[in-house]
Amino acid sequence: MVKATFSNGQSAVYEGKRNVKASWAVIEKETSSIVLSGFSASYQAAAKSKGANVKEALHLMDGVDRQQEKDVLHRARVTFEVVAL
């Protein structure tokens, strides 16, 4: 079991068998809640996943469509964080 704790105090736990080295989270700024999180084999891989994961989180939050994904105001609603394990 691997546990990652983010800047908002919330944690994510990985109980799989892969050798993970980093955890990432998309955090809603207004509520400080984690919208989406996951684990990666490396810190670099986690950091590279930012664009796709932020888009997915915005879609999960309120069904943001493709045009709105490009809107700076929507992206400003969330922050992306990577934690080395």
Is the predicted pLDDT of residue 81 greater than 80, yes or no? Answer: yes
Q: Can you give the pLDDT at residue 21?
A: 96
pTM confidence score: 0.80
Q: Can you give the pLDDT at residue 80?
A: 86
Q: Can you give the pLDDT at residue 22?
A: 97
- Whole domain around residue 75: which residue ranges? 2-84
Work out whether the CA dihedral 61, 65, 69, 73 comes out positive or negative: negative
Q: pLDDT digit string (tens) for 11-66? A: 999 999 999 999 999 998 888 999 889 999 999 999 999 888 887 887 777 765 65
| Number of domains forming the structure of the chain | 1
Q: Can you give the pLDDT at residue 63?
A: 65
Cα separation, 2 vs 4, whole angstroms: 7
Cα separation, 9 vs 32, whole angstroms: 9
